[in-house]
Amino acid sequence: MRKVALAVLLAVLLAAPGVAQQPRRGGTLTYIVTALPPSFDGHRETTFAMLHPVKPHYNYLVKFDTQNYPKVVGDLAESWTASNDGRTYTFKIRRGVKFHDGSTLTSRDIKATFDKIIFPKEGVVSARQVIYQSVQRIEAPDPQTVIFRLRFAAPSFVEKLASPFNFVYKADILERDPTFYERNIMGTGPFKFVEYVRGSHWVGRRNDDYFKSGLPYLDGYRALFISSRSAMMAALKSGQALIEFRGVSPAERDDLVSTLGDKIAVQSQPWNCNLIVAFNTRKKPFDDVRFRRALTLAVDRWGGSAALSKIAFLGPVGAVMRPGSEFAMPESELVKLAGYGRDITAARQEARRLLREAGVPEGFTFTLKNRSVAMPYEPAGVFLVDQWRQVGLNVQHVQQETAKYLADQRAGDYDASVDFACDFMDDPDVQLAKFVSADVSPLNYGGYVDRQLDALYFRQSRTANKAERLRLVHQFERRLLDERAYAMYVLWWQRIIPYWKTLQGYKTTTNHYVEPDMEAYWLSQ
């Protein structure tokens, strides 16, 4: 009887949510990266294909806490303070941090890193320079202090510093060769570089001198470069890889779950990626706001979300700011925007009326250019063609290989084009930047110039008061998507990450850039 009671007690204790397994040291985590890194330099690249294999070799000044995203925590910074006027940020740097070559990290390395990102020398590419326009200069008054002096208070300055692309590099190397990091690895991170075979794999091994006591748990990691979806699925099913950190489709998830049963876990999160339709406002009738409003009114986002979320990694309905984020427009306001109402019949009647008013005849034909990537572009394109057909429009769906698709968008060679945006944070400075006037933003493919939008963008960027900033952001969204309908949001993406349960310590975030956080992952077997 006592034995039974003990067994029951043990079972209850093991099943209790508070009883977590202790991290175990050892093992190699093998995972999949579905594209190739163009270079190894975080400051110049914009793709996860570089981040996923390269990130574990580096640290950041501050970083996003993947367990509590979007909370920002110190990484190389022990602490930081901001001045009352929000124009001076002082960071205290940890002592005793070593680069993989044995040299000691100081504030000089932090300053050199951010000087490269914010004030790049001639010939050095910095892909994120533009988001640090508030920074006037960076100082390193002593080896443990870094000061950022800003021209104006920027509400999300610390979050921007936490960009997963901001690897901290070594000042001496940057001084000698600012392009060194395009082809080489030299960081302070939890894993040291072992080898990279282009198209095949990337290997890292534990940094035994890592400054965070007891970390990392893994002996090493191996990233396998697999672009074919069927090969990726086979690798996951066979256990040759335990996870792919970007995301799979619902069908792929179901396939893995049915094959692997309780060996696999699935986490899902709204994704900071979306599908947009850019309208070429330089062309008729896309230069007519009535036509553009009709196009957005015709699309049943709520119905589309329910249907498409079963077959594609599309789902959440939202405006420019990610649904579910602190900046998102409340649903009560969202449903007032053109195309977001719950009554699709009424919306389509209004769309037909606007088409008549704009002089667009029944059966009018135009082209929707789309990227020839199956997920989620293809189902979204098919969905849009069907939606517009229901208000009497005839749309030709043209799927293009990526390079041609980008070239046509940038050249304005399209009628309507499926566009997208993905980023590492929800901040409006990042999310709205695409939609300011074409002579301000190179990512505005619609070709319109709207100084009201520009003014709203720059005002929100300098507004520290959160409520006021939100008001400006929503005003921007209303003008963009409803009043002027320069572009339309189709649906936001939903991240689905299946992974072998042997991988512990993993938590999905709203984006595939801040992952993988290999520092604290461990393997239970």
Partner 1 sequence: MSRYIFTRALLVLPTLLAVAVLIFLLMRVVPGDIVELRLVLGGSYVTPGVIAAERARLGLDRPLWDQFLHYLVGLARLDLGLSMWSGAPVAHEIGLRLALSLQLAVMATLIAVALAVPLGTLAAVYRGSWIDQAVQLFSVAGLSIPSFWLGILLILFLLSVFNYLPPLIFTPLLVDPKANLAQLIWPALAVGYRYSAVTTRMTRSALLEVLREDYVRTAWAKGLRRTVIVRRHALRNALLPVVTVIGLEFAFLIGGLVVTEQVFNLNGIGKLTVEAIAQRDYTLIQGLMLVVAAGYILANFVVDVLYAWLDPRITYG
Strand partners, 421: 274
Give me the least distance between CB of 439 and partner 1, in Å please: 10
291 or 448: whose CB is closer to partner 1?
448
Tokens of 357: 């008013």
Tokens of 423: 């980023």
226 or 514: whose CB is closer to partner 1?
226
Rounded-to-integer distance, Cα 310 and Cα 243, Å: 21
Tokens of 63: 């970083």
CB distance 234 to 224 below 8 Å: no
**Residue selected from 244, 300, 423, 427 as contacting partner 1 according to rule CB under 8 A:** 423
Q: Which residues contact 119 (CB under 8 A, 6 or more apart)?
A: 129
Four-residue CA torsion sign, 192, 194, 195, 200? negative
CB atoms within 10 A of CB 13: 10
**Residue selected from 6, 8, 231, 464 as contacting partner 1 according to rule CB under 8 A:** 231
CB distance 225 to 201 below 8 Å: yes
Helices then strands (H, E): number in the chain?
17, 18
- Applying the rule CB under 8 A, the residues between 440 and 459 that interact with partner 1 are 441-443
Four-residue CA torsion sign, 71, 73, 79, 83? negative
174 or 294: whose CB is closer to partner 1?
174
- Applying the rule CB under 8 A, the residues between 264 and 283 that interact with partner 1 are 273
Of the candidates 134, 138, 93, the one whose C-alpha atom is nearest the C-alpha of residue 113 is 138
198 binds partner 1 (CB under 8 A): yes
Rounded-to-integer distance, Cα 226 and Cα 34, Å: 5
Tell me which amino acid residue 112 is: A
**Residue selected from 83, 104, 200, 394 as contacting partner 1 according to rule CB under 8 A:** 200
Give me the least distance between CB of 247 and partner 1, in Å please: 15
123 or 363: whose CB is closer to partner 1?
123
Tell me which amino acid residue 7 is: A
Strand partners, 267: 497
89 or 132: whose CB is closer to partner 1?
132
195 binds partner 1 (CB under 8 A): no
Give me the least distance between CB of 225 and partner 1, in Å please: 8
Tokens of 407: 């070239």
79 binds partner 1 (CB under 8 A): no
Rounded-to-integer distance, Cα 381 and Cα 371, Å: 9
Q: Near partner 1 by CB under 8 A, which window of 93-101, 291-299, 421-429, 448-456?
A: 421-429
Burial of 183 from C-beta contacts in 10 A (0-12 / 13-18 / 19+)? exposed
8 or 251: whose CB is closer to partner 1?
251
- Applying the rule CB under 8 A, the residues between 151 and 190 that interact with partner 1 are 182-183
Kindly determine how many residues on this chain lie close enough to bind partner 1 according to the rule CB under 8 A: 55
Burial of 145 from C-beta contacts in 10 A (0-12 / 13-18 / 19+)? middle
- Applying the rule CB under 8 A, the residues between 424 and 443 that interact with partner 1 are 430, 433-434, 441-443
CB distance 30 to 241 below 8 Å: yes
- Applying the rule CB under 8 A, the residues between 37 and 56 that interact with partner 1 are 38-39, 44-48
Tokens of 300: 């049943």
First to last CA, the chain: 33
**Residue selected from 67, 104, 227, 452 as contacting partner 1 according to rule CB under 8 A:** 227
314 binds partner 1 (CB under 8 A): no
Which strand (E) or helix (H) includes residue 243? strand 243-244
Q: Near partner 1 by CB under 8 A, which window of 67-75, 193-201, 303-311, 487-495?
A: 193-201
Rounded-to-integer distance, Cα 216 and Cα 24, Å: 10
**Residue selected from 408, 483, 502, 504 as contacting partner 1 according to rule CB under 8 A:** 408
Side-chain-side CA neighbours of 481 within 13 Å: the count stands at: 27
234 binds partner 1 (CB under 8 A): yes
365-371 and 394-400 as β-strands: parallel, antiparallel, unpaired? parallel
325 binds partner 1 (CB under 8 A): no
**Residue selected from 230, 258, 345, 525 as contacting partner 1 according to rule CB under 8 A:** 230
**Residue selected from 67, 83, 136, 228 as contacting partner 1 according to rule CB under 8 A:** 228
102 binds partner 1 (CB under 8 A): no
CB distance 432 to 473 below 8 Å: yes
Give me the least distance between CB of 125 and partner 1, in Å please: 6
303 binds partner 1 (CB under 8 A): no
226 binds partner 1 (CB under 8 A): yes
Q: Near partner 1 by CB under 8 A, which window of 143-151, 331-339, 419-427, 472-480?
A: 419-427
420 binds partner 1 (CB under 8 A): yes
386 binds partner 1 (CB under 8 A): no
Give me the least distance between CB of 38 and partner 1, in Å please: 5
Give me the least distance between CB of 455 and partner 1, in Å please: 19
Residues of the shown chain interacting with partner 1 in the complex, contacts defined by CB under 8 A: 36, 38-39, 44-48, 122-123, 125-131, 182-183, 197-201, 224, 226-228, 230-231, 234-235, 237-238, 240-241, 273, 401-404, 406-408, 410, 420-423, 430, 433-434, 441-443
